[in-house]
Amino acid sequence: MKLPRQFFKPLAIGAPAPYRELPVRLERMIHFVPPHLEKMRAKVPDIAKQVDVVLGNLEDAIPSDAKEAARKGFIEMAQATDFGSTGLWTRINCLNSPWVLDDITEIVAAIGNKLDVIMLPKVEGAWDIHYLDQLLAQLEARHGVQKPILIHAILETAEGVKNVEEIAAASPRMHGMSLGPADLAASRAMKTTRVGGGHPDYKVLADPDGDKPRIGFQQDLWHYTIAKMVDACAANGIKPFYGPFGDFADLAACESQFRNAFLQGCVGAWSLHPTQIDIAKRVFSPDPGEVAFALKIVEAMPDGSGAVMIDGKMQDDATWKQAKVIVDLAKIVAAKDPEMGKVYGL
Ligand code: GLV
Ligand code: MG
């Protein structure tokens, strides 16, 4: 266990100092782009204007024989595009793959000063973060990178879930975590063939009542893992995200999965298809009615203490803190999206 005084020191001479607090950024959706496809790369300047984060995917879903082309394509699109306030991330291949070392070294050398976050798949424990942390510091020093490149872990193995608290606390470079339901289902030998979402057989059956048909209520397969991830992230001041939703045609189920994650504390989700961008925008921006009510609470309790009644509901220090979360998020959304600012009255 590293001692507190050492924790925030750069891991290489000449590397930028780690952040003490994460930069404030709106990251409602992490939009995945397959960078080996020229047709998809050509859309990036337009997409960058619509989303909060553009991510060049190098890992799963990129065929083995296109791994080098994806890496080259990502560097090319990063160099060619002005991302403005939109984040630029990449998902590298996993640490035991033959591609990952070149992913990291070539990308940091070429676009280290433009890259905000590296998403690291299949993280099993703090040791995976420590390895990438050290390597990034060495490369940042070598290439004169001015601000630390952050690490975002995918929580998608049983061992990773077991070690989630150590992963969240492993380095000041930790940005956050995403649930990876597809790999996690495989790692746990769950009996599903889906990328996220519910399953019709995972339900609780109502008690028998004579001959009446028994109603079954479908449950959320991901509730336990998301809750565990949210606690680990919140306790360490980093950000939890829901990951992918694979059924692009089922917009309602995607929205419901995103909303469950949002209500539980997640700040965003992945968009794998353009239709999921608007869903994420809608879900991860606070509801205008909630914002209006939260503003009332904050105004009625200027110093955040005591108790007041608003619309017949008791408010105290704890609801003031909840209201503050919603108002702060609404302000970040308003700064990026003036239309939403008008809707919120901010
Ligand atoms: C994402 O990478 C997943 O495995 O769900
Ligand atoms: Mg995965």
- Both 300 and 247 in one domain: the answer is no
pLDDT of residue 336: 86
pLDDT of residue 1: 76
- Both 86 and 221 in one domain: the answer is yes
Parent domain of 16 = 4-284
- Of 238, 269, 284, the last residue of a domain is 284
- Both 318 and 170 in one domain: the answer is no
Quote the number of domains for the chain. Answer: 2
The residue contributing the CA closest to ligand 1 atom 3 is: 180
pLDDT of residue 204: 96
- Both 277 and 308 in one domain: the answer is no
- Both 296 and 201 in one domain: the answer is no
Q: How far away, in angstroms, is 264 Cα from ligand 1 center? A: 20
Q: What is the CATH number of the domain that holds 59?
A: 3.20.20.60
- Both 299 and 254 in one domain: the answer is no
pLDDT of residue 344: 95
Residue numbers of the chain with a pLDDT score lower than 70: none
- Both 206 and 280 in one domain: the answer is yes
Contacts for 89 with CB less than 8 Å, ≥ 6 apart: 30, 53, 54, 55, 56, 115, 116, 117, 118, 119, 152
Longest dimension (CA), the chain: 75
pLDDT of residue 337: 86
Distance, CA of 265 to CA of 155 (rounded, Å): 16
Q: How far away, in angstroms, is 183 Cα from ligand 2 center? A: 5
- Of 250, 284, 318, the last residue of a domain is 284
What is the amino acid identity at position 166?
Answer: E
Structure token digits, residue 49: 């204007």
The answer to pTM > 0.85 is yes
Q: How far away, in angstroms, is 156 Cα from ligand 2 center? A: 6
Q: How far away, in angstroms, is 127 Cα from ligand 2 center? A: 19
pLDDT of residue 60: 97
Residues with CB under 6 A from ligand 1: 60, 154, 156, 180-183, 195, 243-244
Q: How far away, in angstroms, is 140 Cα from ligand 1 center? A: 28
- Both 230 and 272 in one domain: the answer is yes
Kindly identify the ligand whose nearest atom is closest to the C-alpha of 246. 1
pLDDT of residue 97: 98
Q: How far away, in angstroms, is 263 Cα from ligand 2 center? A: 23
Distance, CA of 245 to CA of 276 (rounded, Å): 9
The residue contributing the CA closest to ligand 1 atom 2 is: 180
pLDDT of residue 123: 98
Structure token digits, residue 101: 């070392």
- Locate the ligand 1 atom nearest the alpha carbon of residue 186 and give its number: 4
- Both 314 and 333 in one domain: the answer is yes
- Both 225 and 322 in one domain: the answer is no
- Of 284, 304, 322, the last residue of a domain is 284
**pLDDT tens digits, one per residue of 235-257:** 999 999 999 999 999 999 999 99
Residue (of 301, 292, 160, 180) closest to 243 by Cα position: 180
Ligand 1 mutation target, pool 152, 195, 221, most atoms within 8 A of CB:
195
- Locate the ligand 1 atom nearest the alpha carbon of residue 59 and give its number: 2
- Both 49 and 137 in one domain: the answer is yes
pLDDT of residue 294: 96
- Both 265 and 312 in one domain: the answer is no
Kindly identify the ligand whose nearest atom is closest to the C-alpha of 178. 1
- Locate the ligand 1 atom nearest the alpha carbon of residue 195 and give its number: 5
The DSSP call for residue 164 is H
Between helix 251-264 and helix 275-284 the angle, nearest 10°, is 30
